[in-house]
Structure 1
Amino acid sequence: MLGRKGKSAVVSLLLVAALLVSTVAVLPQTASALPSGTPTKATAQSQLDSLIVKSEDSMTGYSRDKFPHWTSQGGGCDTRQVVLRRDADSYSGNCPVTSGKWYSYFDGVTVYSPSELDVDHIVPLAEAWRSGASSWSTEQRQKFANDLNGPQLIAVTASVNRSKGDQDPSTWQPPRAGARCAYAKWWINTKYRWGLHLQSSEKSALQSMLNACSY
């Protein structure tokens, strides 16, 4: 039988668990792992409402080299390899990963070779540049390009990633309808965490996607 201190500890743990459930959504998914930190619909709405809406900044001076990416994460792994391992249903090899099984969340395609995959920046580097990152230091842009602390990186087929390019949700959304709710939440959360602004057409598209979310 639990004493008073034991009961208090149990209550505290239950409260923490309830708080986590209230702020992080549970994703319907096929892959064994997807980017962590997906907000609930209510949290994503609050984050979207707080973002500054303004015209996009100039692309003058932009280069992908301004965002050093796929940096070392230790153990012989760079950021790309970490994401490939995280998002795989199964894989062979350590770093680099040599083969495995991946479900590409955007288009619903299953692939078995890492050469068929890109690691997508949910908010593309060029989009970040014209949304405020042009004023960042190189160090901050590097952290953004290698962000493993939120839902900013995901392994998807190279073809679907390249069809997206640097477009925002007003002109490109995942072809698989079931991926659009999570995609909107990931986009919103990334812009919110990094203090990036958005344009009005982008916000309208995100709002429509969020309205259609069931979770």
Structure 2
Amino acid sequence: MTYRSRRRGAPRAALAGLVLVLALGCTQPSPDPPTASPAVSGDRVQELMLTVAEMPGGTWEAGGPVSSDGFGQTICGVNTEPVTPEAVKLSRRTRPDGVEVSQTVRSIGPDAARQVLDALARAIPDCARDTRTVNGQTITYEVEPLASASPGVVAFTQTSVGGAFVGLSGAQAYFVRDGYLVAFSEIGADPAEAADLLHGLVAAVEAK
């Protein structure tokens, strides 16, 4: 799997705040949310979370507690959590150079997970800009797809061009593994590394 990265640069001081903004997105519902099928086992949700030792691309540390609470997110009009999950996990990892990665795994049912991924695949190429409200802050992102050689992965960059954190950017990747919706959000990596890092993160989950 290869990704085509874009030029990105950001002051490291604001990265800690933006990584959650990039990961959590907006809590407004999608106009046409996908329907849910019966959710699958929450045990597998935990199994698909990468440990610090399984993280590719250097030495990582735990950046925060793993959460069992769900949260809504809307990206380019697509609600990635259209129903309350049976189980959801969130982790944050940090590197000494300031790079941060968040991972989420949601159990919303195999059919709903696939519908969300398909909706993102349709929406991202036509979504030049996306405005979201996160924790009371309105942020406008410039969105650009990342080309992938492997089917089944939706990856894109998003750079803040209006509101909070102007100029900061990151990348995200979504895919379905064993019926679960898995997402990674990266921020702070050098442009030449960001795409390879996403590739390695996806591959590490697919190996589980």
* TM-score between both structures, scaled by the size of structure 2: 0.30
* TM-score between both structures, scaled by the size of structure 1: 0.29
Bigger proportion of residues as helix: 1
- Higher Cα Rg, which structure: 1
Bigger proportion of residues as strand: 2
